[in-house]
Amino acid sequence: MKQIYLYDTTLRDGTQAEDISFSAEDKIKIAKRLDAFGVAYIEGGWPGSNPKDMEFFERARNTKFVHAKIAAFGSTRRAKNPVEKDANIHALLDAQTPVVTIFGKTWLLHVKEALQISPENNLLIIADSIAYLKKHGKEVIYDAEHFFDGYKQDKAYALQTLSVAAKAGAEILVLCDTNGGTMPWEVAEIIHEVKNNISTPIGIHTHNDSGTAVASSLLAVREGCMQVQGTINGYGERCGNANLCTIIPDLQLKMGYHCVADEQLQHLTTISRYVSELANMKHQKNLPFVGESAFAHKGGVHVSAVMKSALTYEHIIPEAVGNVRRVLISDLSGRSNVLFKVKELGVELDEKSHAVQKIVDEIKEMEHYGYSYEDAEGSFELMVKRHTGEMKHFFDLERFKVSIQKDDLEKDARSEALIKIRVGDETEITAAEGDGPVNALDKALRKALEKFYPELSEIHLTDYKVRVLDTQNATAAKVRVLIETKNDESSWNTVGVSPDVVEASWKALVDSISYHLMKHKTKDVK
């Protein structure tokens, strides 16, 4: 099984994506995770470009990495500078990394228009820069920037830049599709020709501007590239870089190459989500292999087949990449969906049970009204418990009143909630102020119930989403409220729907509290 060396540039190229910024601490944390995963090279940043990258390299020097080599990234020397006096080259050396990745120009358009130097001078700059870094004991990876565009304009010159870099001592020559516009079959054809002319090992670095970065990387490996560069989740400038979370399992599970140990591959989903968390980016559900929806099944026919054999609708075992199979509950659900989900909840239901059909019917009816149970499994579990007779009754609402008062155009409105509930034979009346009517209602309800159920102090709302369902009705539109609640052990989502946002929120809140009390098996007081 041929070894492919992974080169991760999330900490440098990935941070060039909009809305992504890692602190030096974040970068160290990610680097440790990538090292434990088995990545061969981790590109830490561009020394001298900003204080954050310099802090990372300082901290990396005192951090033990087992598998990975840390690489500093930068450009060849400036045309007017002798290499020994070039600030960029010295910044690369000052980073004190074992590896330096340096990029140079391949495309004559850039040589003549951007650098405004002769083609011969560009070759000298490449050779000088690499030789100087080698002289100082560095492993040098040469990134041939815009290689494929340059090759298409002038094949002979593009190959000459690679020959010069190899002769100067570069260990790996990386062919870069910097603009992301080269089609995968072009990448394959060009690499095939390069391999016939260059004996130095080559790598591939693609961008996703044409939506083909992964495909191009896979074909590049098939044509002989031994190093693949990319980022976690495909983060990167413009449309992003090649997504390593897709490339790695494709190479290892589909194409027979070795990237990381099989047991490490099972951490791929965790790493993907960890990096998105530190980037403060929502993890995309539809990411191949690692997305929450990658092995999610919604249609009743699909679920029925998967329950008999997962291979019917799954191309790999989810656990191979650390993911899990999910069955979604919606108006497309059949008995198979319900039986699968009920089994997950630990409830035994006979396939022919009348309760199963009742649950299916209620789901279809409620989703027609506007409910969605795909992301509200707490509310779904309560529905199941009601139909199986296992649902406990914890309190009754006598009434609630919510008021909003605004005394001045320049001042924020004040919200108050008054609520009366009954638990068994006792009633409780409480009031609370809040940041908006829903917050006030939440506070008043908890205040009333904690007298009877002190364990409610353990939970808190962590997310609140409102979606307008029928916008054509303007301010009279029906809304769906989804809330997330957490305790020290877990989190759960519940849903409510109504033309009134407070009423919809109330329904979701009641489900949230009932779910927590049900899980704690509190005694039914009715």
Q: How confident is the model at residue 419 (pLDDT cuts 50, 70, 90)?
A: very high
8 A C-beta contact, residue 202 and residue 175: yes
For range 15-22, the mean pLDDT: 92
- Residue 280 pLDDT more than 90? no
Average pLDDT over the chain reads 89
Ranking 10-24, 173-187, 463-477 by mean pLDDT, the lowest is 463-477
For range 490-499, the mean pLDDT: 90
Q: How far is Cα 381 from Cα 98, in angstroms, rounded to an integer?
A: 54
Containing 360, the helix (H) or strand (E) segment is: helix 354-369
Q: How confident is the model at residue 187 (pLDDT cuts 50, 70, 90)?
A: very high
When comparing pLDDT for 390 and 341, which is higher? 390
| Among 487, 496, 460, residue whose Cα is nearest residue 369 | 496
Output the six-digit token pair for 263: 């047991």
Tally Cβ neighbours within 10 Å of residue 141. Answer: 28
- Residue 305 pLDDT more than 80? no
Q: Looking at residue 524, what is its pLDDT?
A: 46
| Among 119, 127, 125, residue whose Cα is nearest residue 156 | 119
8 A C-beta contact, residue 232 and residue 9: no
Output the six-digit token pair for 323: 């993911």
| Among 43, 502, 469, 20, residue whose Cα is nearest residue 281 | 20
Ranking 245-259, 308-322, 425-439 by mean pLDDT, the lowest is 308-322
**pLDDT above 90 coverage of the chain, percent:** 61
Q: Looking at residue 16, what is its pLDDT?
A: 93
Q: How confident is the model at residue 301 (pLDDT cuts 50, 70, 90)?
A: low
Q: How confident is the model at residue 311 (pLDDT cuts 50, 70, 90)?
A: confident
- Residue 463 pLDDT more than 90? no
Q: How far is Cα 40 from Cα 25, in angstroms, rounded to an integer?
A: 21
Q: Looking at residue 182, what is its pLDDT?
A: 97
116: alpha, beta or left? (left if phi > 0; alpha if psi -120 to 50):
left
224: alpha, beta or left? (left if phi > 0; alpha if psi -120 to 50):
left
| Secondary structure of residue 190 in the 3-state scheme | helix
Containing 134, the helix (H) or strand (E) segment is: helix 119-135
- Residue 526 pLDDT more than 50? no
- Residue 471 pLDDT more than 70? no
Q: How far is Cα 148 from Cα 503, in angstroms, rounded to an integer?
A: 59
> Any idea what the Cα angle at residue 463 is, between residues 460 and 468, rounded to 5°?
135
- According to DSSP, the β-strands at 227-230 and 296-297 are unpaired
Q: Looking at residue 143, what is its pLDDT?
A: 98
Q: How far is Cα 257 from Cα 108, in angstroms, rounded to an integer?
A: 35
8 A C-beta contact, residue 220 and residue 4: no
Domains present along the chain, CATH in parentheses: 5-260 (3.20.20.70), 296-371 (no CATH), 396-519 (3.30.160.270)
How confident is the model over 208-254, as pLDDT tens digits? 999 999 999 999 999 999 999 999 999 999 999 999 999 999 999 99
- Residue 146 pLDDT more than 90? yes
Q: Looking at residue 177, what is its pLDDT?
A: 97
Q: Looking at residue 381, what is its pLDDT?
A: 85
Q: What is the DSSP code (8-state) at residue 312?
A: G
For range 360-382, the mean pLDDT: 80
Q: How confident is the model at residue 275 (pLDDT cuts 50, 70, 90)?
A: very high
Q: Looking at residue 98, what is its pLDDT?
A: 97
8 A C-beta contact, residue 332 and residue 342: no
- Residue 405 pLDDT more than 80? yes
Three-state SS sequence of 387-406: HCCCCCCCCEEEEEEEEEEC
Most confident of 20-24, 136-140, 362-366, 455-459: 136-140
8 A C-beta contact, residue 387 and residue 359: yes
Containing 122, the helix (H) or strand (E) segment is: helix 119-135
Q: Looking at residue 364, what is its pLDDT?
A: 77
Q: How far is Cα 135 from Cα 138, in angstroms, rounded to an integer?
A: 7
8 A C-beta contact, residue 103 and residue 133: no
When comparing pLDDT for 310 and 184, which is higher? 184
- Residue 523 pLDDT more than 50? no
8 A C-beta contact, residue 400 and residue 419: yes
Q: Looking at residue 310, what is its pLDDT?
A: 66
